[in-house]
Structure 1
Amino acid sequence: MLRDILMSVSKKMQIDFEGITSIIQHNGEKGTARENILEEYLKSYIPEKYSFSKGTIVDCKDVQSRQVDIIIHDKFLTPYLVDMDNTKIVPIESVYGVVEVKSTLTKEELRKCVKNIESVRKLEKKTISDFSFPTAGLVFAYDSDASLETVYKNLNEISADVEVDKRISCVCVLNKGIILPVEKNGMTNVSLLPSDNTIYGIFNNANDALLLFYLILTQILNSITIFPPDMVAYAQSTDILDTSFSIPADYVPDDGTISIMDKMVSISEIKNLRDYGTKFLSGKLRKEDFLEYAFETCIQNLLLVHKSLDLVPGNSTLDFFGVPINNKVIINAYKIFRRSGEITPNEKKIVDDLENLMYTIYDNHRGEMLKNNS
């Protein structure tokens, strides 16, 4: 029964199309007529959750597709960015597939279809769940100026420089047949989307073309799950809205983290470094307290930059008030200073020598620090 229904629809579709286009001379109006005919009939057989629109598709990086004839998108999960005069700008995350509709599919029209669908399938998806499915791209033609075999040859030729996963999913020529991806392994199973494991196959079924197109489109729609777009990402990545924010210092949580030099650092570490640094640069340190603050300030800075003290280059230096001090010397003295067990006289001399050097330099700049903090 379904086949009989769709065959009668196919015949009526061609009659309607021929009747409309015979009295419409303007190309733009002809195009609108053919798209409307296909859209109206598809709506009769596809669930209401799917919406059909005309317009452009955009991603969160503000990259836009070329204009496509029919956008099939989720009726309930699509935030329209623009909706004027029945032309919409739709976020790519809400789109199941697009259909290019042609009255006569010439090689040049096929080339436009390939480029238009590629522009859609190249868009980046950013959903609230970080999961997404590929968007399908189909071509529906009422006729072609060449045989289906020639259309097949042209499709492969034009698609040669297009990434496989950005290619057309289905080409239907209503009075001739369909071109679909077929799995290379066995070359018997139809695939919904082209991939490295598929090759296009020709289905010479002129009488059943509409039925097969409908079934393929339905299968594609049923196999795709739409996750809502991350609209905050749209705002942030395009700088359309200022989404910068601040948190008052008193409310910054100690267990929060921020990225510094590709390393996640806890707020408590930052506050600790700030407290030691503030005390160190106050100019008020006594010698007996000096190494504690000097080490914590220097070592924490090295950890922020290099992530590990073992990764600090042997020839790197600390600019200590204009005097270069080898970082490895500081690290070695720090490890001795922090050791819980006994240290040898030689080790004590290493720590004392560094303390005397750094404190002398510090003391020479004490007046300047006190003045800056007064």
Structure 2
Amino acid sequence: MDKGAFSIADSFVEEFNDRVEQLSRLTNHPGSKGRFIELLLINLLRKYLPKKYDFSSGFYCSINPELNEASQQIDIICYDHLNYPLFFNCNEIVAVSPKSVKGLIEVKSVMTSDSIKQLLNQANCEVAKQLPIDTKFNLLSVKSQISPESVCKEILDFYNGDIPIVKGLGMIYSLDWKDIIVFDNSRNRYSMLILNNFTYSISSFVNKLIRDLYGLDAYMSVANLIGPSLFIPKAEYVIRGDEN
């Protein structure tokens, strides 16, 4: 086991939890906490993870100027700033090439059905086709008005309209949930798993995010990072079945 890698992930989560607890003593306003968590995630990702990638709010734009396409504003974009130039950079708002994008995170004060639809539309818009094949869209919220099961139903309804899956989803999690939704595209199918998350809280979200951004081997196995109970699903919803 790579103890150094475990220490990085553990320190990240510990500092995140400490800062959120400090803020909770001052205010319970979801809007304030949502913006704080967005900035906190950006700062901690920059602090603890390799410097090849940077994290900012902003857009990714079509590499074909004739198309003149751009994404909606994304709360947190992880992008390779060493090998790709920025199209725009002002006051922590960036515009980047789709080829430079490694991962995307939407941060919401309150998760609603509209939040899920917005995430799905972002993952399936035309310009998203230019993102690297392993790019994941993630959603994190302070509170949720809908249950994990309702989220899965929203997603199934969306894709049952025969909408092709352009880019994969990574995780959907609310800080007031006891579960986390993880998307799995192995075993020749694309499915959603509702996983029991009693103990791990934000740890599961952050640690899997690390795995998705930097690869499984970068921070040892996901089982060591998150814990074996994450792999005991409460429910599985298959979006696309076996293709073979």
Report the counterpart of residue 39 of structure 1 in structure 2: 42
Q: What's the counterpart of residue 173 of structure 1?
A: 174
More helix, by proportion: 1
Q: Give the number of the structure whose alpha-carbon radius of gyration is greater.
A: 1
Query: Letter of the aligned partner of 1:33 in structure 2?
Result: F
Amino acid at match of 1:182: D
After superposition, residues 23-38 of structure 1 pair within 5 angstroms as 31-38=34-41
- Is residue 73–residue 94 contact of structure 1 (8 Å, CA) maintained in 2? yes
Cα 1:67–1:54 change in 2 (3 A) is: same
Q: What's 1:322 paired with?
A: none
Counterpart-to-counterpart distance in 1, 2:191 and 2:127: 18
Task: Give the AA of the match of 1:91.
Answer: S
CA distance in 2, matches of 1:213, 1:23: 22
Unaligned runs of 5+ in 1: 126-131, 186-195, 225-374
- Greater per-residue strand proportion: 2
State how far apart, in whole Å, the 2-side matches of 1:138 and 1:164 are. Answer: 15
Percent identity at matched positions? 22
The answer on whether the counterparts of 2:57 and 2:76 sit within 8 Å (CA) in structure 1 is yes
Select 1:207's aligned residue among 191, 199, 202. Answer: 199
Give the SS at the match of 2:124.
helix
Question: Residues of 1 paired with 2:94 and 2:80: CA distance?
Answer: 13
Residues 147, 45 of structure 1: alpha-carbon distance in 2 compared, 3 angstrom cutoff:
same
Aligned partners of 1:207, 1:120: CA distance in 2, in Å?
Answer: 39
What is the Cα-based RMSD across aligned positions, in Å? 3.0
Pair 1:73 & 2:79 matched:
yes
Distance in 1 between residues matched to 2:129 and 2:165, nearest whole Å: 15
Q: Which runs of 4+ in 1 moved over 4 A?
A: 1-7, 19-24
User: Residues of 2 paired with 1:56 and 1:100: CA distance?
Assistant: 12
For residues 121 and 13 of structure 1, what CA distance do their matches in structure 2 show? 35
Which position in structure 2 is the counterpart of 1:115?
A: 121
Kept after mapping to 2: 8 A contact 1:175/1:206 = no
Determine which of 52, 55, 61 is the counterpart of 2:55.
52
Per the TM alignment, residue 53 of structure 1 is displaced from its structure 2 partner at its CA by 1.0
Which TM-score applies when normalising by structure 1? 0.48
2:146 counterpart SS class:
coil
Match of 1:198 in 2: 190
8 Å Cα contact 1:171-1:179 kept in structure 2: yes
Distance 1:52 1:106 in 2: 25
- Amino acid in the other structure paired with 1:107: S
- Tell me what 2:164 maps to: 163
Q: Which residue of 2 aligns with 1:150?
A: 150
Report if aligned partners of 1:20, 1:33 keep a CA contact under 8 Å in 2.
no
CA contact (8 A) 2:134 2:168 kept: no
Q: Displacement of 1:30 after TM fit?
A: 6.1
1:242-287: CA deviation from partner (whole Å, max 9, x where unpaired): xxxxxxxxxxxxxxxxxxxxxxxxxxxxxxxxxxxxxxxxxxxxxx
Counterpart-to-counterpart distance in 2, 1:174 and 1:50: 26
Which residue number corresponds to residue 136 of structure 2? 136
TM-score, normalised relative to structure 2: 0.71
CA distance in 2, matches of 1:17, 1:146: 24
Tell me the CA shift for residue 165 of structure 1: 3.6
Q: Distance in 2 between matches of 1:51 and 1:44?
A: 10
SS in 2 for 1:168: strand
Shift of 1:88: 1.1
1:271-326 CA-to-partner distances (Å, cap 9, x unmatched) read xxxxxxxxxxxxxxxxxxxxxxxxxxxxxxxxxxxxxxxxxxxxxxxxxxxxxxxx
**Aligned amino acid, residue 135 of structure 1:** T
Measure, in 2, the Cα distance between the counterparts of 1:219 and 1:106.
Answer: 27
